[in-house]
Amino acid sequence: MAALVLAQRLHHVIATTEENQLPAFPATVSPIPVASYDSPQAKDLAAVIEQLRYAGFAVTSCSQPPTHDGLIALAEALDLGEPFVPPLYRRPGAVGVAASGISTLTASAAHVPHPAVSASGQGLHVDGLLQPIGTVVTSILLCVRPAAEGGQSTLFNAVGAFRQLARTDPDAAATLLSDRVLGRRATVNGSPDVSWGPAFAVVDGTLVTRYSRDGNDLWDPEHGHEGALGRALATLAELAEPGSPYALRFTLQAGQGLLMANSRICHGRTPYRDVPDRPRAMLRGLFLRDAS
């Protein structure tokens, strides 16, 4: 795509999404108490929604053990709609998804070749590997049991970092808007599928992202203008490092939940160590709507 067209697109992105930018991440995480995931109270929901809209994520805390039904009840109370199961996860060899649409992520399923269920670290990504940009709007993780050691959640305010890049190196930022700059490839069950698209775009007036650096990402120098693309990726990688105002790391404890604006921030996980009889376990649900 011609550099002039990308520059015009960047100007449009910045001009039309100025009011939707996310602030810098807080220095520490303050979980929002939730009396029950099965029947959350209105005041708890209001606090969760406010935090999601303001910061792009919210952490909850509940004394009751999380369940599939509890995650679904929480999503219903937030008006997220039914859980979305990407077609990729309906194939043989994929991460197990229950009939409810909720996944159980644990290393006990390590025979499945997917980073979500291994003890290895998982790089920054957005959920919905092969879906068009902005499809999966909200992701929910509920912690059944943390790892014996490690397993920190990592968050990256990608849209905020993109705006920073646009201020300091607009040519580099513009390459990330190219229609074929980022390919996301599926590896489950030997799948050869690759989904190409922009790393950032405007959907319904909001700046969204599918920026990923998790080993399943392919970057196209031809469509991204090699020199500028290299600068863009180097800058975003630096802004995603610990200590950056766009990066955050913390460990989810049992009963805690992480709700994310999946189309606006990226997430990942550090490596962890399990004990055989108490493996790390998370419940995950993907949704196509914002909390309301």
Residue-wise pLDDT tens digits, 122-174: 999 999 989 999 999 999 999 999 999 999 999 999 999 999 999 999 999 99
pLDDT at residue 186 tops 90: no
* Structural tokens at position 160: 């905020």
Measured distance CA(104)–CA(96) in Å, rounded: 7
Task: Identify the band that residue 18 occupies on the pLDDT scale cut at 50, 70 and 90.
Answer: confident
pLDDT at 177: 96
Residue-wise pLDDT tens digits, 215-226: 899 998 776 666
pLDDT at residue 99 tops 90: no
Strands across the sheet containing 194-197: 194-197, 182-185, 217-219
pLDDT at residue 68 tops 70: yes
Helices 158-168 and 226-239 sit at what angle, rounded to 10 degrees?
130
pLDDT at residue 91 tops 80: no
pLDDT at residue 255 tops 70: yes
pLDDT at 190: 58
Task: Identify the band that residue 30 occupies on the pLDDT scale cut at 50, 70 and 90.
Answer: very high
The mean predicted confidence, pLDDT, of the chain is: 90
pLDDT at residue 189 tops 80: no
pLDDT, average across residues 265-273 = 95
5-12 long-range contacts (CB < 8 A, ≥24 apart) are 6/174, 6/175, 6/177, 6/178, 7/170, 7/171, 7/174, 9/174, 9/177, 10/166, 10/170, 10/173, 10/174, 10/177, 12/202
| Structural domains in the chain, sorted by start | 31-156+188-216+246-287 (3.60.130.10)
Say how many Å lie between the first and final Cα of the chain, rounded: 37
Residue-wise pLDDT tens digits, 219-253: 987 766 669 999 999 999 999 999 999 999 999 99
* Structural tokens at position 93: 């060899």
Pairing of strands 194-197, 182-185: antiparallel
pLDDT, average across residues 36-53 = 95
pLDDT at 7: 84
Backbone torsions φ then ψ of 205, nearest 5 degrees: 80, 5
Measured distance CA(208)–CA(202) in Å, rounded: 6
Measured distance CA(88)–CA(96) in Å, rounded: 11
